[in-house]
Amino acid sequence: MYLNKKRLAHIVFDSDDRASKLFDIVLLVLIFGSVTVAILDSVGSLHDEYGELFYVLELAFTFLFTIEYGLRVWLTSKTFKYVTSFYGLVDLLAILPVYLSFFVANTQLLSVVRALRLLRIVRVLKLGRYLAEADFIGDALRASAAKIQMFLFSVLTIVLIMGTLMFVIEGPEHGFTSIPVSMYWAIVTLTTVGFGDITPSTPLGQFAASLIMLLGYAIIAVPTGIVTSEMANRKRKSHYEKLKTCTHCGFDALEPEDNYCRICGEKKI
């Protein structure tokens, strides 16, 4: 019985033999299936025609994900750590809404939680190569975090000041009904999205808007510059990690191909 549990844990948590890989693929198919059902069910005409089928499928997916969640809780050696981990919470959120729906009336809220199921896909993407690349991007972003934070703070300061300015210049009669709405407009403009649901109509307002647009067009260079130079730096660093240390004098920047230490002349083998 003990061996059976160990074998089951291997199938559920790893993915290096046939059974465990099959488990991952089945899970992947279930996740894609449940997300697809949630998306299709939101389309009015499809809901009217296949609503009941979608509901039955939803219950089936929930039943299967409940078994998976139960297995993970039972099989893991660190139950508390798993339950409170990011994926543990995602797994719980993937089944909870349906059980709640038996008591809760607001079905719209459920769609949000259903979409969160897609996050479970990441867990199955243990393809190494992809995660290594994700780490590369994640590391570069993390190393630039302080700079990006400073950048976001500057952006929000600009948004607050320009939003208030436009509220004063254009006023509620031209769609800038309050400072929060004006700030929403400033973000729409500064990020160059430009919906056009609110637009300046006075000459002064159009002039101020032009300044925000040119500013937004220019400062997009800042986050790009930060991330790019960080990534280029990261590549250079990975080169330095290949350097060796001289066992004689301790010089620590020997190229892998050096035969003699550049500082003390000690021969390398």
For its own copies, the binding residues in 133-152 under the rule CB under 8 A are 133-134, 136-137, 140-141, 146-152
Structure tokens at 267: 């021969």
Contacts (CB under 8 A) with its own copies, residues 115-134: 115-116, 118-119, 129-130, 133-134
Q: DSSP letters of 45-114?
A: HHHHHHHHHHHHHHHHHHHHHHHHHHHHHHH-S-HHHHHHSHHHHHHHHTTHHHHHHTT----HHHHHHH
Contacts (CB under 8 A) with its own copies, residues 210-229: 210, 213-214, 216-218, 220-229
Q: Does 32 bind its own copies (CB under 8 A)?
A: no
Return the number of the residue (9 or 148) whose C-beta is nearest its own copies: 148
- Provide the 3-class DSSP secondary structure of residue 244: strand
Return the number of the residue (105 or 203) whose C-beta is nearest its own copies: 203
Contacts (CB under 8 A) with its own copies, residues 47-86: none
First to last CA, the chain: 54
Interface with its own copies (CB under 8 A), residue from 12, 65, 72, 114? 114
Q: Does 179 bind its own copies (CB under 8 A)?
A: yes
**Bridge partner list, 244:** 254
Of the candidate spans 26-34, 61-69, 91-99, 180-188, the one that interacts with its own copies by CB under 8 A turns out to be 180-188
HSE of 138, CA atoms in CB hemisphere, 13 A: 6
Tell the smallest beta-carbon distance from residue 26 to its own copies (Å).
Answer: 21
